[in-house]
A and B are shown apart, each in its own frame.
Chain A
Amino acid sequence: MEIVKLTIDNKPVVVEKGTTILEAAKTIGVNIPSLCYMKLEDMDFENKPGGCRVCVVEVEGRRNLAPACKSEVTEGMVVNTHSVRVVNARRTVMELILSDHPAECLTCAKSGKCDLQTLAQDLGIREIRYEGEQSHYKGDESPAIIREMDKCIMCRRCETACNEVQTVGVLSGINRGFESVVATAFEMDLDHSACTYCGQCVAVCPTGALTERDSTNKVLDALMDPSKTVVVQTAPAVRAALGEEFGMEPGTLVTGKMASSLRKLGFDYVFDTDFAADLTIMEEGTELLGRLNKFLKGDKDVKLPILTSCCPAWVNFFEHNFPEMKEIPSTAKSPQQMFGAIAKTYFADQLKKKREDLVVVSVMPCLAKKYEVSRDEFKVNGDPDVNISISTRELGQMIRNANIDFAALTDEDFDRPLGESTGASVIFGTTGGVIEAAVRTAYEIQTGQELEKVDFHELRGMEGIREATIDFAGLPIRIGIAHGLGNARKLLEDIKAGKSEFHAIEIMACPGGCIGGGGQPYHHGNVEILKKRQQAIYAEDAGKTLRKSHDNPYIKKLYEEFLGEPCGHKSHDLLHTYYFDKKKKIEI
């Protein structure tokens, strides 16, 4: 390793060759402000177009100021990060950016969480000395994502997320000069593109240009309607992040406070998507074993590896990009949709209510879930199984609106029957979790033996693609895991080429899994936050008495009273789905 010695703000610094000034400064506690720059460690996400020029510093002997995010250190370099020249230049740059930005902070959805706003405050901008034309671009409203491009500062983070990390490729810089903007091909709306609604563009946008479609008013309307019974379900990853909306440390588990706050908001039944995650394992695990055992008996037509199907952005991704492989993913619906299907049949029957009188609300770390609830195959006579999906951030907003002192809430439990869950379901919220949960159940069903230890550390971690072989009492089961759609694409290309040797693959669209979902509190580029959420998820699992989905007593009861057996006739009707070929065809 070659090292470089330099001086930053009069302090000596020693770093590896190839380090940028920005990173070198960080090692001695000097945080050079930046805007377009963003790096997510371990996630293959680095955006440094060097376009905003906010991070400029003075380098002795160099005529022009240097962008710290793009300039590599050199031996003996002398850097000043806050000379008068630097500070003036930085403020000028910022004022120029702001001169073409709508001053709508008071009503902007991103206010208080906006990197641009924070930076303007940090730099102490009190007036904008430049007046000029304001750019106006075409807006775009999809079922999940709102694009208000007048607020775009051309940092290109969304492009990096969409094109390089996710390899979805629906965004690009278009036009030139003052007309430049990030847009889809031909400036079509997102819902006419191959957008998966993963929401990673929203997760990294520094301004209010990209936000989620707000459905909180729809939820309030349902809660105020006396003719409706309103049922809520909360996804596993929400409990590991909701606290951040109220200033709590990342990684604080707020399961009990969340249940309590939902009851205070007026939901008639506070249930848990985790229950449906246990149900998913029963169905998906049985499907896996079904395919596996056929394969072991020499059936050549069986589709292996089986791919998980919990993640709606991932489903959109293969429908758009790999439709020829749409028979490979599990047919099991996602936990959100399984919950809706059971709530509007089994639970509605228990209440002696018609399905139309039930409103199912989901709280999700995800924006693609908003799209998923609108899919036609998840409706019965026009009535959706899940009526409204809101994000973790939107729930935070609802709690604040209702004057609830979240931190002071006492812990409460979920209601029964659809609120009971095992540790296996909680870990659905992180990369590796779904397949670990599946292994816990599939192992016991396949071998007839009880698992001695339920923790499969070989399946855990943050690496983009992981693989492990689990010994099913002499039968080696090869498992692949990918998070981030770019990583998923690699595994899919292998399958397509006939090179894949896995029996089962778990795929989650967002880096880190649902804990890093597009609907979670903004991480502002700090990957440590995702790691803490992941730890919280595993802690919740470890603290549970029941840690295997098939041990959930209410799941057993559901099969006894209603469904029959996993992958049976009724399960197929209610809990399984089918996929579409959405690849754009060129007519000739």
Chain B
Amino acid sequence: MANIKLPANKVQELKDVCEKFNHDKGELINVLHAAQGIFGYLPAEVQELVADQLNVSIAHVYGVVSFYSFFTMIPKGEHPISICMGTACYVRGAEKVLDEFKRLLNVKVGETTPDGMFSVSCLRCVGACGLAPVVTVGEKVYGRVSPEDVKGILAEYK
């Protein structure tokens, strides 16, 4: 695993979060949530820092991070793409849309393109079932997406 150097200001921000939670082991998930907010993802170094701050083992922290799909150890792309796989979207062909994103970007779900531009993930329902299938790129929502639309959506960000 490549060692990365964490920026000092973000480290301090995370330490402040831990302080706010009184370094309570029971707040691990909340601390990780905040950490992902600060760093964008949870690389090994951040997990080690959290383990040290809350006085729990690194293995335990990794156990929690790997259990919840919300947590990611891979940095999100500049434009994070989420494809809704909720029931409504799924039955209206979300998987074909997902496959098209994967094909065009040559990444798997949870991965980021080598240039750091796009990452692909799945989510469960954005509350816009009437527009199914739904895709979000960053904060922007696309409705009634067909595999043919995918190329055009990506082009908006290139």
A interface residues (Cβ-Cβ under 8 A, vs B):
163, 169-176, 183-186, 188, 193, 584, 586-588
User: Are B3 and A587 neighbours in the complex by a CB distance under 8 Å?
Assistant: yes
B45 within 8 A of A: yes
**Cross-chain contact of A174 among B6, B45, B57, B67 (Cβ < 8 A):** B67
Digitize B64-79: 1 where CB-to-A-CB distance is under 8 Å, 0 elsewhere: 0011000000000000
**Chain B residues whose CB sits within 8 angstroms of the CB of A184 once the complex forms:** 59
Contact at A185–B58, with CB atoms within 8 Å? Answer: yes
Please name all residues of chain A whose beta carbon is closer than 8 Å to the beta carbon of B5 when the two chains form the complex.
587-588
Given contacts A174-B67, A175-B67, contact A588 B59 (CB under 8 A): no
B41-85 interface mask toward A, CB cutoff 8 Å, 1 = contact, 0 = none? 000110111001000111111110011000000000000000000
B11→A174 contact, CB < 8 A: no
Cα A588 to Cα B15 in complex, Å, equals: 12
Could you list 18 further interchain pairs (A-B, Cβ under 8 angstroms) beyond the known A169-B58, A173-B63, A186-B1?
Answer: A163-B59, A169-B56, A169-B59, A170-B59, A172-B60, A172-B63, A174-B63, A174-B66, A175-B66, A175-B67, A176-B67, A184-B59, A185-B58, A186-B44, A586-B52, A588-B6, A588-B8, A588-B11
Enumerate chain B residues within 8 angstroms of A173, measured Cβ to Cβ: 63, 67
* Chain A residues with CB under 8 A of B8: 588
Residue among B49, B61, B67 with the highest chain A CB neighbour number at 10 A: B67
Report the nearest B residue to A167, measured CB to CB. B57
Bound: A173/B57 CA distance, A: 12
Residues of B within 8 A of A175 (CB): 66-67
CA distance A186 to B57 in the complex (A): 12
**Chain A: CB-nearest residue to B60:** A172
On whether the beta carbons of A170 and B57 are closer than 8 Å, the reply is yes
Min CB gap B13→A, angstroms = 12
Considering only CB atoms, which chain A residue lies closest to B65 in the complex?
A174
Min CB gap A201→B, angstroms? 12
Q: Which chain B residue lies CB-closest to A169?
A: B57
When A171-B59, A172-B62 are in contact, do A185 and B47 touch as well, CB less than 8 Å? yes
Q: Which residues of B contact A186 (CB under 8 A)?
A: 1, 44, 47, 62
Residues from chain A with a CB closer than 8 A to the CB of B6 are: 586-588
Using Cβ atoms and an 8 Å threshold, which residues of chain A touch B1? 186, 188
| Cα distance A109–B143 in the bound complex, in angstroms | 57
Q: List the 5 closest pairs (A to B, CB-CB), nearest first.
A: A169-B57, A172-B63, A172-B59, A185-B58, A185-B62
A171, B57: Cα distance in complex, Å: 9
Complex CA–CA separation, A586 to B1 (angstroms): 14
Instruction: Name A185's contact: one of B3, B49, B59 (CB within 8 Å).
Output: B59
Determine the distance from Cα of A183 to Cα of B62 in the docked complex, in whole angstroms.
9
Please give the distance in Å from B25's CB to the nearest CB on chain A.
12
A173 to B62 CA separation, bound complex (whole angstroms): 9
Residues of A within 8 A of B48 (CB): 584, 586
Q: Residue on A with the closest CB to B5?
A: A587
Q: How far is the CB of A175 from chain B (nearest CB, A)?
A: 5
Complex: A202 Cα to B3 Cα, angstroms: 31
Output the nearest chain A residue to B43 by Cβ-Cβ distance. A186
Collect the chain A residues with CB atoms within 8 Å of residue B49's CB. 586
Q: Which of B81-99 contact A (CB under 8 A)?
A: none
Q: Is the CB of B57 within 8 A of A163?
A: yes
Q: List 16 A-B contacts (CB under 8 A).
A: A163-B57, A169-B56, A171-B59, A173-B67, A174-B66, A175-B66, A176-B67, A185-B57, A185-B59, A185-B62, A188-B1, A586-B6, A586-B49, A587-B3, A588-B6, A588-B11
**A46 → chain B closest CB, angstroms:** 19
Give min CB distance, A18 to chain B, whole Å: 25
Closest chain B residue, CB of each to CB of A174: B66
CB contacts (< 8 Å) of A188 on chain B: these are 1
Residue of B nearest to A184 (CB): B59
**Looking across the interface, which residue of chain B has its beta carbon closest to that of A180?**
B67
A185 to B65, CA, bound (A): 10
- Counting chain B CB atoms within 10 Å of each CB, the highest count among A163, A169, A172, A174 belongs to A172
Q: Complex: how many Å from CA A163 to CA B51?
A: 14
CB distance from A168 to the nearest CB of B (A): 8
A170 to B44 Cα, complex, angstroms: 14
Contacts of B45 in A (CB 8 A): 586-587
The smallest beta-carbon distance between B16 and chain A, in angstroms, is 14
Q: Which of A170, A171, A185, A193 has the most CB of B within 10 A?
A: A185
Complex Cα spacing A413 to B126, Å: 78
Write the nearest CB–CB distance from B39 to chain A, whole angstroms: 13
CB neighbours (8 Å) of A163 from chain B are 57, 59-60
The reply to whether A172 and B57 contact each other, CB–CB distance below 8 Å, is yes
Shortest Cβ gap from B29 to chain A (Å): 14
Q: Name B47's closest neighbour in chain A (CB-CB).
A: A185
A183, B58: Cα distance in complex, Å = 11
| Most A C-beta atoms less than 10 A away, residue of B1, B47, B49, B66 | B66
The winner among A176, A184, A188, A588 for most chain B CB atoms within 10 A is A588
Using Cβ atoms and an 8 Å threshold, which residues of chain B touch A588?
Answer: 5-6, 8, 11
Q: What CA separation (Å) do A185 and B66 show in the bound complex? A: 10
For residues 140 through 154 of chain B, which have their beta carbon under 8 Å from a beta carbon of chain A? Answer: none
Q: How far is the CA of A584 from the CA of B56 in the complex (A)?
A: 14
Would you give the shortest CB distance from B42 to chain A, in whole angstroms? 11
Alpha-carbon separation in the docked complex, A163 to B61 (Å): 13
* Residues 1-25 of B at the A interface (beta carbon under 8 Å): 1, 3, 5-6, 8, 11
Write the nearest CB–CB distance from B55 to chain A, whole angstroms: 10
Q: Nearest chain B CB to A196's CB is how many angstroms away?
A: 13
Q: How far is the CB of A552 from chain B (nearest CB, A)?
A: 43
The smallest beta-carbon distance between A180 and chain B, in angstroms, is 8
Report the minimal beta-carbon distance from A167 to chain B, rounded to whole angstroms.
9
Q: Give complex CA distance A171, B60 in Å.
A: 7
Q: Kindly state the separation between the CA atoms of A183 and B65 in the bound complex, as whole angstroms.
A: 13
**Measured CA separation A450–B3 after assembly (Å):** 60
**Structural contact, A174 and B62, CB atoms closer than 8 A:** yes
**B56: A residues at CB distance < 8 A:** 169
Q: In whole angstroms, how far apart are the Cα atoms of A172 and B62 in the complex?
A: 8
